Amino acid sequence: RRWNGVSSLMYPNDYGPTLFRDAGNVTFDFIVVGGGSAGATVAARLSEIPEWNVLLLEAGGDPPANTETPLRFSDLMTSDVDWTFITEPEPHLFGGLEHGRCQVSRGLMLGGSSSMNAMMYLRGTKRDFDEWERLGNTGWGFGDVLPYFIKSENFTGSGGRWDAVPHGRNGPLTVSPLVSIDPAYSAVADGNRLLRLAELDDINRFAPPAVGYGPMDFTVRDGLRCSTLKAFLLPASGRQNLFVAKNVRVTQVMMQRISAPGGRNCTRAVGVEYVTPSGRAKRVYASREVILSAGVIMSPQILMVSGVGPAEHLRQHGIRVISDLPVGYNYQDHVSFAGLVFSDRKNRSRADISRESTDLVRATLDLVSAGIGTMGLTNLVSFVDTAAKGRADIQVVYLRFAYNSTRNTPNKRSRMSNMFGYSDQVARLYDDLNILSDSVLAIPINVDGRSTGRVVLRSGDPMARPKIYTNYLSHDDEIETLLRGIDFVVELSKTKPMVDAGLVLEPVEFPDCVAHAWGTRDYWVCAIRNVGTSLYHPVGTCRMGPACDHRSVVDTTLNVKGVNGLRVIDSSIMPKVVSVNTNAATIMIAEKGSDIIKKFYGKLL
Ligand SMILES: Cc1cc2nc3c(=O)[nH]c(=O)nc-3n(C[C@H](O)[C@H](O)[C@H](O)COP(=O)(O)OP(=O)(O)OC[C@H]3O[C@@H](n4cnc5c(N)ncnc54)[C@H](O)[C@@H]3O)c2cc1C
């Protein structure tokens, strides 16, 4: 076992070397592919059944120590533990992003994206899950999924924050209300109130629907990140029946034609092929099931190279078709606009700015070392109903960048390029402001989008990265929603608390949009298309649906249609993206998926 430098964690043993020696002779009951938000949870839950042997194969290794400190989460982006997928160029999009493409970060390590995300714990609304049910997914309505959110959760809030209806205390996933000492917190909150937003003390309380502003809860334990690795996998890793192999890239699911009773033939998943860290191809077998939890990009890729996907597309790449399914379609995400930058205390002397900024960073990090959770200003969120639909269509998150910090990153690229995929030219606009004072970004996110994109194979080679077409903003009303989100932030900038606090909205002019005057509608439309980007919530590429639904890949028990012994359990099964960040809903899917499997084999107590 290996010690983690920041906390006293010991990561699971690497079963890989033993597996590579014995492969061919070993069969497991279940093979779980990918140890991310979903996969780590599924592997841990299935291994609760002592007579099941569970093998977890993860392409990455242990998370580095800097994954632990919440405020440092953006250091991980585009690092060695990020897959850093890049989309294809698309007309009218991404002009201000590097190479005209959009970055899609995903964790490449145990815990997957839960080891690199911003830890915001938001579940989604009642309406989100009732919509899944309305689409034919019986058993996935709000009343069905709520118990699984509660089952996971160890909510640390007390006093007025404890509410036994939506929250749980007995689960492994620590969810904590955080503390912020950032002075901008109250200015932004007071500004929100003046814009007639209600103050919410618990955004995961589902009635009434969350429209308003308030503090978020985070997957943070004692001031440090609580990934699914930490919550689920580590406590289970002493079990004799759970085997975790690291740095193992699964390339394909192995299928076998079998004769079923009654003379019917069917196809069954019998194991996986994988590549060892030294590049050798190997096989390992599963007697019961293979479970794909490789996430929204890689689960569809593995399916397609294994013969499960759109028939014509597979044939184009010379792949024999086993089940003709719409794998890779229904790519859904939340488009965000990080082009609204406030300078903080710019009118002060440079020496004062530098000292105050350093003091705030130090005091905030001292909270972490005292075991107190903080994400600074990021603790705060707004959900705005910009079109009076009775539900939020815009989420606004607020991020502070300390004075002269955006250029100081581990990989020497601007933090703006690492976080948002900005081109050097665009990132420089932010860096130039940041050497004058702290910067505060208010980022409107469209949580009510309709566009769907697609993940397709680049080639039949399983090691090739798939192509991603986002198709963002293909409906005009999606631009309108973001425009109203921008309006909200512009109005916020004019409120007295913001003005008094010295938070000044800067006229950041993106080079491709200088034909329009900053602040005009035409300017914002141009800017949205130019630098509008992912906030890393893509889902949906192995869509769940009822048996008769030709748009879906898995049924409501998460079985891949047309193949026995193969399920997908991760964020890719969402039929529709939830209207908030996607980690909590993914963990819920993993919890419910694990119970579905236990029930199928008569093991659910
Ligand atoms: C930078 C960032 C910030 C985010 N912030 C938030 C937030 O604050 N709150 C929130 O709710 N959501 C957030 N999200 C989104 C959320 O983390 C994801 O929706 C969620 O983690 C997805 O879970 P998953 O299990 O589907 O995939 P992942 O967690 O990505 O797991 C997939 C795993 O499979 C492994 N894998 C892939 N291919 C293979 C293969 N061929 N062989 C073996 N292993 C493989 C990967 O390495 C990875 O470990 C963020 C995401 C990112 C990237």
Residues listed for the chain: 605
Give CA–CA dist 371/362, Å, rounded: 14
Residue 561 near residue 547, CB atoms below 8 Å? yes
Give the residue whose CA is nearest to atom 49 of ligand 1. 112
Asked if residue 204 lies in contact with residue 581, where contact means CB atoms within 8 angstroms, the answer is no
Separation between Cα atoms, residue 297 and residue 456, nearest integer Å: 9
**298 CA → ligand 1 middle, Å:** 10
Which residue's CA is the closest to the ligand 1 atom numbered 52?
117
- Say what the pLDDT of residue 298 is: 98
Tokens of 265: 């033939």
**85, 49 Cβ separation under 8 angstroms:** no
**Distance from the first to the final alpha carbon of the chain:** 32
Pocket-testing residue among 76, 113, 115, ligand 1, by greatest number of atoms within 8 A of Cβ: 113
* 504 neighbors 307 (Cβ within 8 angstroms): no
Beta strands in 312-432 (DSSP E): 323-324, 335-336, 341-344, 380-384, 394-401
pLDDT in tens, 279-292: 999 999 999 999 99
Alpha helices (runs of H) in 421-509, residue ranges in sequence order? 424-434, 476-494, 496-500
CB-based burial label for 132 (10 Å; 0-12, 13-18, 19+)? buried
How many CB atoms within 10 Å of residue 351?
A: 8
Tokens (6 digits) for 90: 């698309």
- pLDDT in the model for residue 208: 75
Q: Give every CB contact of residue 583 below 8 A, 6+ residues apart in sequence.
A: 37, 113, 114, 117, 119, 120, 121, 219
518 DSSP β-pair partners:
none
Instruction: Give residue ranges with CB within 6 A of ligand 1.
Output: 33-39, 57-60, 77, 105-108, 112-114, 116-120, 249-250, 293-296, 298, 302, 536-537, 570-571, 581-584, 586
Cα(127)–Cα(149) distance, rounded to whole angstroms?
16
DSSP state of 100: G
Q: Could you give the C-alpha distances from 4 to 8, 244, 367, 369, in angstroms and in order? A: 6, 17, 20, 15
92 is catalytic: no
Centre of ligand 1 from the C-alpha of residue 61, in Å: 14
Ligand 1 mean position to 236 CA, how many Å? 20
CA pair distance 237, 224, nearest whole angstrom: 20
Question: Beta strands of 8-82 (E only): which ranges?
Answer: 10-11, 27-33, 54-57
> How far apart are alpha carbons 38 and 368 in whole angstroms?
27
User: What was the pLDDT predicted at 2?
Assistant: 47
Which residue's entry shows tokens 């299928």?
Answer: 255
- Look at ligand 1, atom 9, and give the residue with the nearest C-alpha: 120
Q: Output Rg (C-alpha) for the chain, integer angstroms.
A: 24
Task: Write out the two tokens for 473.
Answer: 């903003």
Residue in the block written with tokens 């690092």: 79
Nearest CA to ligand 1 atom 48: 112
Residues with Cβ within 8 Å of residue 134, at least 6 apart in sequence = none
Query: Residue 216 and residue 179: Cα distance in Å, rounded?
Result: 10
Distance CA 335, CA 127 (A): 20
Q: Using CA atoms in the order 257, 261, 263, 268, what is the torsion angle rounded to 10 degrees?
A: -10
Instruction: Return the best residue to mutate from 419, 583, 587 for the ligand 1 pocket (most ligand atoms within 8 A of CB).
Output: 583
Q: How far apart are CA 187 and CA 522, in angstroms?
A: 29
Q: Which atom of ligand 1 is nearest to the CA of 274?
A: 42
Q: How far is the CA of 590 from the centre of ligand 1 (A)?
A: 13
The pLDDT value recorded for residue 202 is: 94
CA 399–ligand 1 middle distance (angstroms): 21
For residue 94, what are its two tokens?
A: 């991404």
- Ligand 1 atom at minimal distance to the Cα of residue 74: 1
The tokens for 27 are 């069969």
Q: If you take atom 23 of ligand 1, which residue's CA is the nearest one? A: 37
Q: Which residues contact 17 (CB under 8 A, 6 or more apart)?
A: none
Phi, psi of 261 (to 5 degrees): -55, 140
Residue 299 Cα: closest atom of ligand 1: 38
Centroid of ligand 1 to alpha carbon of 541 (angstroms): 14
Instruction: For residue 157, count other CB atoms closer than 10 A to its CB.
Output: 16
CA-wise closest residue to 590 among 23, 13, 45? 45
Determine the residue type at 158. Answer: S
Which tens digit of pLDDT belongs to each residue from 559-574?
999 999 999 999 999 9
| pLDDT reported for residue 263 | 73
Q: Which atom of ligand 1 is nearest to the CA of 251?
A: 41
Q: Give the number of the atom of ligand 1 that is nearest the alpha carbon of residue 228.
A: 29
Check if the beta carbon of residue 500 is closer than 8 Å to that of residue 286. Answer: no
Of the residues 313, 475, 537, 550, only one is catalytic, namely: 537
Task: Report which ligand 1 atom has the smallest distance to the Cα of 106.
Answer: 53
The whole-number pLDDT of residue 3 equals 46
Give residue for tokens 């969810």. Answer: 175
Compute the distance from residue 297 Cα to the ligand 1 centre, in Å. Answer: 10
Ligand 1: centre distance to CA 42 (Å): 14
- Given a cut of 50, the residues of the chain with pLDDT beneath it are 1-5
| Whether 236 contacts 35, CB under 8 Å | no
Residue 182: CB atoms within 10 A of its CB come to 23
CA angle 188, 192, 195 (to 5 degrees): 140
Return the residue matching tokens 């530098």.
Answer: 354
Q: Give CA–CA dist 258/327, Å, rounded.
A: 23
Reduce the DSSP state of residue 38 to 3 states and report it.
Answer: helix
State which of 77, 78, 117 you would mutate to test the pocket of ligand 1, scoring each by most atoms of that ligand within 8 A of its C-beta. Answer: 117
